[in-house]
């Protein structure tokens, strides 16, 4: 709000920016140039990375899309501010970012995570630079392909989504298998930190919650609805937790109800079988999800179910309202 009472847009810019009526609290540099927004627009992080836009902000630091001015390539720059984002085990944003750098280097030849490019300090903040991964958000695929977003879905719609679903989570499993073979738990996985290629291969992003079994302390970083919070708090974290997350992501791709898990601990067990039945999919998908979340499914169990294509029945939730009729109702 301006001094005259006018609303002013809060610009989420990747550099320091002041409203017109606020004096720069940092004054000017030796050359008489303001050290605020005008200087920061021209600055390059690490003397090399020209920030183009902020992808998102958090207390722990921003994530930026930038250009590497030495190569001309797009990169992602991830910031970490000291003494922020402290978890149950005294990990802060900087220690988790530095660990992420180490783990990305251990996995850089696998093709399932971004390649680490640089780690540097600018002023008091730590920055990690990694390759910019092109692809789609898992939520985009859900909203575009799921039969649940159609008024009167056909068997062909459900069968296509079933094939996409199987292919996507087979890729997820193979990536997980590679990471676990290196002794690494990914930890904080959710719908927000996966990128999907055009061939429905999965890449894992944002590995600040990852840790090496027997080497690192676990982290308390997790997304509600995608981890068992009791195991996180107790520090009882291992490979099974990533398989648990796989079960929650498989549920999310059926219908994104994960946030309700904080209110109803039985949400997965009670709802998954109904969703699978409504889609006309084989019941073994629901059983697999239940076993993953219950800690009973192995890699081979998952692989067997997802590799085996079953017959898909017509969806059972057809509402009986045609698109023309719905348009007349809305009009």
**Per-residue model confidence (pLDDT) at position 14:** 66
The Cα–Cα gap between 245 and 87 comes to 20
Confidence of residue 39 (pLDDT cuts 50, 70, 90): very low
SS (H, E, C) the chain: CCCCCCCCCCCCCCCCCCCCCCCCCCCECCCCCECCHHHHCCCCECCCEEEEEEEECCCCCCEEEEEECCCCCEEEEEEECCCCCCCCCCCCHHHHHHHHHHHHHHHCCCCCCCCEEEEEEECCEEEEEEECCCCEEHHHHHHHHCHHHCCCCCHHHHHHHHHHHHHHHHHHHHHHHHHHHCCEECCCCCHHHEEECCCCCEEECCCCCCEECCCCCCCCCCCCCCCCHHHHHHCCCCHHHHHHHHHHHHHHHHCCCHHHHHCCCCHHHHHHHHHHHHHCCCHHHHHHHHHHHCCCCCHHHHHHHHHCCCCCCCCCCCCCCCHHHHHHHHC
What is the domain partition of the chain in residue ranges?
Answer: 40-131, 136-307
Asked if 257 and 251 count as a contact pair (C-beta separation under 8 A), the reply is yes
Angle at alpha carbon of residue 103, lines to 100 and 108, rounded to 5°: 115
**Per-residue model confidence (pLDDT) at position 313:** 94
- The fold of 136-307 is Transferase(Phosphotransferase); domain 1 (1.10.510)
For the segment 259-263, the average pLDDT, to the nearest whole number, is 80
Q: Which residue has the higher pLDDT, 279 or 43?
A: 279
pTM of the model: 0.85
The Cα–Cα gap between 286 and 254 comes to 10
Q: Do domains 40-131 and 136-307 have the same CATH topology?
A: no
For 28-32, 81-85, 299-303, which range has the lowest pLDDT when averaged over its residues?
A: 28-32
For 40-131, CATH gives: 3.30.200.20
Number of Cβ atoms within 10 Å of the Cβ of 23? 9
In this predicted model, what pLDDT tens digit does every residue of 48-77 receive, in sequence order?
999 999 998 888 999 999 999 999 999 999
pLDDT value at 285 more than 90: yes
In this predicted model, what pLDDT tens digit does every residue of 139-159 receive, in sequence order?
999 999 999 998 889 999 999
pLDDT value at 203 more than 70: yes
For the segment 218-240, the average pLDDT, to the nearest whole number, is 85
Q: List, as own/partner pairs, every contact residues 237-240 make where C-beta atoms lie below 8 angstroms and the sequence separation is at least 24, other chains included.
A: 237/185, 237/187, 237/211, 238/185, 238/213, 239/180, 239/185, 239/213, 240/295
pLDDT value at 8 more than 90: no
β-pairing, 136-137 vs 194-196, is antiparallel
């Amino acid at each position: 709000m301006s001094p005259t009472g006018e609303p002013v847009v809060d610009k989420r810019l990747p550099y320091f920016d002041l409203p017109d009526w606020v004096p720069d609290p940092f004054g000017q540099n030796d050359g008489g140039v303001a050290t605020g927004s005008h200087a920061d627009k021209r600055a390059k992080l690490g003397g090399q990375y020209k920030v183009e836009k902020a992808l998102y902000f958090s207390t722990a630091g921003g994530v930026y899309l930038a250009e590497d001015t030495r190569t001309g390539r797009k990169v992602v720059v991830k910031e970490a501010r000291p003494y922020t984002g402290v978890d149950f085990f005294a990990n802060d944003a900087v220690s988790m970012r530095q660990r992420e750098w180490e783990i990305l280097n251990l996995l850089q030849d696998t093709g399932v995570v971004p390649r680490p490019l640089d780690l540097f300090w600018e002023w008091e903040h730590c920055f990690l630079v990694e390759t910019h991964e092109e692809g789609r958000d898992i939520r985009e695929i859900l909203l575009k392909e799921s039969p649940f977003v159609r008024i009167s879905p056909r068997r062909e719609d459900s069968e296509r989504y079933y094939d996409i679903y199987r292919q996507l989570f087979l890729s997820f499993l193979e990536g997980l298998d590679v990471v676990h073979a290196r002794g690494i738990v990914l930890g904080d996985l959710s719908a927000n930190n996966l990128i999907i290629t055009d061939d429905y291969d999965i890449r894992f992003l944002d590995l600040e919650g990852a840790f090496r079994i027997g080497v690192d302390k676990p982290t308390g970083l997790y997304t509600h609805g995608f981890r068992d919070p009791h195991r996180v708090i107790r520090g009882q974290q291992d490979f099974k937790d990533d398989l648990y997350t796989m079960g929650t992501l498989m549920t999310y791709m059926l219908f994104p109800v994960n946030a309700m898990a904080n209110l109803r601990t039985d949400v997965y067990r009670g709802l998954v079988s109904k969703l699978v039945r409504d889609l006309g999919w084989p019941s073994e998908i629901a059983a697999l999800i239940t076993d993953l979340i219950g800690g009973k499914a192995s890699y081979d169990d998952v692989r067997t179910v997802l590799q085996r294509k079953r017959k898909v029945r017509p969806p059972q939730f057809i509402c009986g309202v045609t698109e023309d009729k719905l348009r007349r109702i809305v009009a």
